[in-house]
Structure 1
Amino acid sequence: MLVYLLIKGYTPFYAGLLSIIFLIIVTSFNKESRFNLVKIRDSLEIAARRTIKISPACACAGIILGVSTQTGIALKISSIILSVSGGILFFAICLIAVIAYLLGMGLPVTSAYLLIAILASPALVKLGVPMLVAHMIIFWFSQTSGFTPPVCLCAYTAAAISDGDPMLTGYKSFRLSMGIFLIPFLFAYSPIIFLAHNASFWQALWISVTALLGLICFNIGFEGFLSEKIKTIERIIFLICSILLYLPEYTSDAVGIIILLAIMGMRFTRNLSKNKLKSIANDSPPFK
């Protein structure tokens, strides 16, 4: 019910209210799940306790938003980005990531995007980034507002639902989503992915596939896990592959794919040998 109402365009508050009413009506037909005064009291108590975990984050987000708008610093951010970055696109994107991290704390994705787009998009456009690409970069960074600690409402809400530790959940979600910070650089240096500059569909598809492989390699190298814990040298190789696959050159893509196939072939051969040794050990008769 909640998902259906959100898809239909209702606000989260209205959809949540109707879903609660719908839940009460549906559960009233079953004697075991029917709400009574005791269950209503317990539900309100649990909701209040879980809200306590989120309220400080909302308060901090309000302070940040108020300071940035009332002091006028928000209007100067675009010029600050250009001056601090020295007109270098890479550093400008890094600064926008920091701004998105600070201003997006505690804000929903839409609110964070609208705020950061007003502040940072002029700087990207002045550096030669197409308008569509500039807004995609900002939109992508604004998605981090829900899982970047210390204020990450999505992670805190998930922790409240699962009775987990809010900070540990936030840091874990941040670590698992580190690869998301690479995507905006792909947008900036490979705008062909949006079929820009008279690019063909196959060129955009190639860049999309290599970027996906690069993201997978980055996550494997960063986490150090691929069906099992991998060695440090393998982690370094996967990270190198991710860099090569992300570079907007066909030569680097080819080298990255060759290295990736080589290391995956080595791992496959090694695992195959291990499985053969295990099967031989299991089939051999025990010593008496």
Structure 2
Amino acid sequence: MSAFMDLNVMFSADRSRMQRVVETAAHLGFSTIAINYVFTPLTKKKQEVPTPTPINELIDPLPVVQGRSRPIRVLNRLTVVMSDSSHYRPNTPEYRRFDLLAVQPTTEKLFHACCMLYDIDIICIFVTEKLPFFFKRAPVNGAVERGVVFEVSYSAAIRDSTMRRYTIANAVSLMETCKGKNVILSSAAEKALELRGPYDVANLGLLFGMSDGDAKEAVSCTCRAALLHGETRKTASGIVYTMKSQQEAPQDSERCDAPAAKKAKPT
């Protein structure tokens, strides 16, 4: 439990607000956070996937993590709110701009497809309203075997008492099915006041029905596994990484056309 992570900090165009959130996260002891861009596609209208803002333009400079000598690590994440299977486009190049790819399914059929088929990193669980379906053990176990993690965020429980009931009820329902495995706890914070320290978040996991060990891993080891899974999406089983090769310089081709031997001097 040496590295704490919060993989869901909501994006804001307000640079000063983002700076305060990142500074607060570093002060609380988080070594890595992910700025979340939420994308809600429409069925009858084509929309552009948001483009992540470069970190150096959004936050400058990065604060040093409390108790460490290195600055906090800031990643980009895309969350697609799915109400139709056509909303998931794995071959879209815009998806590869993000370090993490998450989906929030709105139906049981889409939830099953996310668990068993889609090449994603995180499945978001509803916390602001009652779940429109029940968790079943088969798809949940399938997601666990594929290395996909489930995410429960807690900031909505801070804002409203009704959302607090939904957050606890939906989280408990998930824990009863997955037994606390492959679950990450994140903030989904929109401002600095909604962030909580990693040990407080781990204690919140006990309220959701997680064991002490699983609750601690939900803010550390399981988050790291999600990051590694995101990296392997861009590789061939985590072994081969493809990239565009640079074109041959013109001077090299001219050098190849030059005669191999020098002309002999006249005697």
For the pair shown, the structure with the greater C-alpha radius of gyration is 1
Between structures 1 and 2, the one with greater helix share: 1
Which TM-score applies when normalising by structure 2?
0.26
State the structure with bigger RCO (CA 8 A, min sep 6), 1 or 2: 2
Which TM-score applies when normalising by structure 1?
0.25
